[in-house]
Amino acid sequence: MTDPATARSDVTAINKIRRLSSQALLAGMIGNILEWYDFGLYGYLAPVIGAHFFPSTNPIASLLGAYGGFAIGFAVRPLGGAVLGHIGDRVGRKAVLITSVVLMGVATSAIGVLPTYQQVGLWAPALLLVVRIFQGFSVGGEFTGSVSYLIETSPRHRRGIAGSFANIGSTGGYLLAAAAATGTVLLLAHDPHLHWAWRVPFLAGGIIAILAYWMRTNLSHRGYEPDPTDDDEPRELPIKQACTQAPRAMVLAVLFTWGYGVADYLTLVFLPTFASKFGHLASGSALAINTIGEGVAICAIPIAGWLTDRVLRRRTMLILAFTLIFCAAIGFFVLAGRGAPVAFALAQFGFAIFLGMIMGSAPAMLAEQFPSEFRLSGYSLSFNVGLGFGGGTAPLIATALIGASGFGLAAAGYLMLGALLSIGALALMPDRSREPLL
């Protein structure tokens, strides 16, 4: 049986001499474009989805129903992370990258053909929630699988920017989703008879899935793969290895990603809804500004990743970013609630820059916490528990807090709490920037 230390040294030796592969970067990025295009689209079109699948005379209740479906998709992410993470550690990263895009491509297209509440009654929300479960399962292995693949196929001094490509893909997916949602809302406002128009963006996800599948089946660099001779020896499950050999890393990763998820989904998904529902800013204007904000974030991501390879260590960058979010939360939500496009743009762009700093630094920071032989299992489970429950419930909790208290800034308070949680976890995490992979 191959010594794990030898396997790790082989991966490290490859990393020292290999340049960044454009094929690997694009393959790692495109799956995240698909995965987060759908999740972002669902969040941005939550009011439309709520009206079609969770009708109610109370707009808050309808919105809560739609965000409940959003949260369920995230709730099953840990299961998907555990299953797909196991496959990635036992079979190889490529198998996970292909499986995740196939699952998400089918599920995304399925939303575009689901019947509405008016057509089939309670079957409509039930079918929607089933599709969301499949989507959450696939996302559970996509992001962490692509990050693990990207850092394992890059040199040691380029892991920050390589890992950031996963979030360039996820933010690019959000950007496409925001653009599609903006066009849909404007089209529906122009002609209410085009009640089917909301389906088109989901059906378009199938095209992205086909392209992602083609790119990933033709990968030349495969990342970590276990020694096939090890199959003859009884081995401990990778997820058990992660829990027994790296329990501290697992707990800290969960706490960090919980706050990360709150920051992510309150600043880029919930904020335009907040501005339109509670600040009375036109939905089309809020989504258009959010689309530009996504572009701001996508520019900040690789810069942050590059800086953590060359200038700042990753933990320093992350603590700085969360501190800025904590300090700006109340002020930016006040601006978003004014209903003025310029004020909302200032808040959205500010949050986009801060979040871009996080998304450019966090992928490599988290993947570097685990050894290669159980990296994907440990990373996937902890990441999806934290981000799945923290991020997936953030819009729901923020909406519920506002509804219960009647205080719009309750959402900002929850954002501040999430930032503090991440800062505390980061203070206890080791920083392995530019060090050999475990």
Token digits of residue 36: 């987060």
Q: Which residue has the higher pLDDT, 287 or 5?
A: 287
Class of domain 18-222+237-428 as given by CATH: mainly alpha
Residue 163 pLDDT > 60:
yes
- 422 near 259, Cβ under 8 Å? yes
Residue 303 pLDDT > 70:
yes
pLDDT of residue 115: 84
Residue 247 pLDDT > 70:
yes
Q: Which residue has the higher pLDDT, 13 or 84?
A: 84
As a whole number of angstroms, the distance between CA 183 and CA 284 comes to: 8
- 274 near 333, Cβ under 8 Å? yes
Angle between helices 123-152 and 159-190 (to 10 degrees): 150
**Window from 35-49, 290-304, 361-375 with minimum mean pLDDT:** 35-49
**Window from 6-15, 162-171, 219-228, 359-368 with minimum mean pLDDT:** 6-15
Residue 58 pLDDT > 70:
no
**Window from 41-55, 220-234, 303-317, 373-387 with minimum mean pLDDT:** 220-234
The one-letter amino acid at 33: I
The band of 419, judged by pLDDT with boundaries at 50, 70 and 90, is: very high
The domain segmentation of the chain, as residue ranges, is: 18-222+237-428
The angle at the Cα of 173, spanning 316 to 313, to the nearest 5 degrees, equals 10
The band of 390, judged by pLDDT with boundaries at 50, 70 and 90, is: confident
If you average pLDDT over residues 273-295, what whole number do you get? 83
Q: Which of 106, 105, 83 is nearest to 95 (CA)?
A: 83
Residue 220 pLDDT > 70:
yes
The band of 6, judged by pLDDT with boundaries at 50, 70 and 90, is: very low
pLDDT of residue 319: 96
pLDDT of residue 354: 96
pLDDT of residue 429: 94
